[in-house]
Amino acid sequence: MTALFNFQSLLLVILLTICTSTYAHSITPGIMDRNKDGLLGIFWKCARIGERLSPYVSLCCIFMAGSLFMGR
């Protein structure tokens, strides 16, 4: 099944995108700050979410890891 049809997998993909974008922005901020608009702007927005809501994102990561571990 693809991530679009399984809600838990879709949430996991979104969470991983936020975490990856935040990490990439901390390593190379200039590249992401230049691409605030357009298709690559999605990653800039995900990086902002990860930076500003980092406690909630980390709690979601822990929750998703627990639910994936317990579910399988």
Instruction: Give the distance, in angstroms, between the CA of residue 39 and the centroid of all CA atoms in the same chain.
Output: 16
Residue 39: the pLDDT is 86
- 57 in any annotated domain: yes
> Considering the domain boundaries, does residue 2 fall inside one?
no
* pLDDT score at 3: 58
CB atoms within 10 A of CB 34: 10
Q: Does residue 17 form part of some domain?
A: yes
**What is the reported pTM?**
0.82
Give the number of other CB atoms < 10 A from CB of residue 2: 8
Structural domain count, the chain:
1
Residue range 20-67, pLDDT digits in tens = 999 999 999 888 888 888 888 999 999 999 999 989 999 998 998 888
Residue 1 covered by a domain: no
